[in-house]
Amino acid sequence: MKDSGLTKTSSIQVIDRAAKLLNIMARYDDPISLKILAAEGELHPSTAFRILSSLIEHQFVERDDVGHYRLGIKLLHLGSHVRQSVELRQQAKPIITRLRDALGETVNLTVRENDEVVYVERAISGQMMRVEQVIGSRAPLHVTAVGKLMLAAAGEEECRQYAKRTGLPAYTHNTITDVENLIRHTSQALQNGFAYDNGEAEKSVGCIGVLIYSSTGEIAAGLSVSAPLERRKEEWVPLVIEAGKRLSESLGYFG
């Protein structure tokens, strides 16, 4: 049977109904009865009852001693998970935007996933010729500025294991493909507090990257500015380091 008649896309009715019930419960401070839920959800009581029973099984809903319903603990768990991701991007967005405006080039935020960095946020340069990464796309650690810093922070042994796992494939003539060279290079970069990518991932593209730390001192992300190599400037380094510092502080890191 049709619900409200007009469905934007070919949605799944049961999910629509479950979402509606969850939203109703969110409007009340206290647990509410099946009768109210069914009425406000415009559902038959037996339908509401079964949907709620399913949601209870997965801890999205709880039922108290008098049979009233409220939102369940699983939403707290999943919500906390969302917060971590959202907070990083929300804290980063204005800082990334300001840095992009100051330098006039694209600025990216990445997080490490296994042997790659993933682009999770960005501010794109307004210039016609610019570097642009797709959010969600990935790059191997050893060919990116921030990835090299992440490797160095993980230690020499981890560097060797990474080299073994991946074989350090060359992406351009400038890619570092020798493990000893990679270790020397990344260690130095970590000591400097920033790293370069000198056309190592892509010909003619240069980056300056720094690490972002969370309140627990762990690496939360990487921040980098990317530009055509001939436009990249050494004097950007302190600005990138400062932006990284501010973002780390906004996440509660003061090391």
Partner DNA sequence: AGTTTTGATTTCACATTATGAAAGATTCAG
Partner DNA sequence: CTGAATCTTTCATAATGTGAAATCAAAACT
Q: Which of 43, 55, 168, 210 binds a second copy (CB under 8 A)?
A: 55
- Give the Cα separation of 132 and 16 in Å (integer): 37
13 is a contact residue toward DNA (CB under 7 A): yes
146 is a contact residue toward a second copy (CB under 8 A): no
Q: Of 140 and 244, which has the nearer Cβ to DNA?
A: 140
Q: What is the nearest approach in angstroms of a second copy to the Cβ of residue 46?
A: 12
Q: Would you state the structure tokens that stand for residue 46, as one six-digit string?
A: 């037996």
Q: Which of 4, 5, 8, 12 binds DNA (CB under 7 A)?
A: 12
Q: Supply the angle between the helices 156-166 and 179-192 in degrees, to the nearest 10.
A: 140
Nearest to 244 by CA among 211, 197, 207, 206: 211
18 is a contact residue toward a second copy (CB under 8 A): yes
- Residues 115 to 154 in contact with DNA, rule: CB under 7 A: 134, 137
Q: Would you state the structure tokens that stand for residue 172, as one six-digit string?
A: 């351009």
Q: Of 60 and 213, which has the nearer Cβ to a second copy?
A: 60
| 102 close to 208: Cβ distance less than 8 angstroms | no
| Total H helices, total E strands in the chain | 8, 8
Q: How far is CA 175 from CA 200, 201, 244, in A?
A: 4, 7, 25
- Residues 25 to 64 in contact with DNA, rule: CB under 7 A: 33-35, 38, 43-47, 49-51, 53
| 21 close to 36: Cβ distance less than 8 angstroms | no
Q: Of 176 and 212, which has the nearer Cβ to a second copy?
A: 212
- Residues 80 to 119 in contact with a second copy, rule: CB under 8 A: 80-83, 85-86, 111, 113, 118
Helix (H, G, I), strand (E, B) or coil at 220: strand
165 is a contact residue toward DNA (CB under 7 A): no
Q: Of 42 and 101, which has the nearer Cβ to DNA?
A: 42
- Point out which residues bind DNA (CB under 7 A): 1-2, 12-15, 17, 33-35, 38, 43-47, 49-51, 53, 66-68, 134, 137
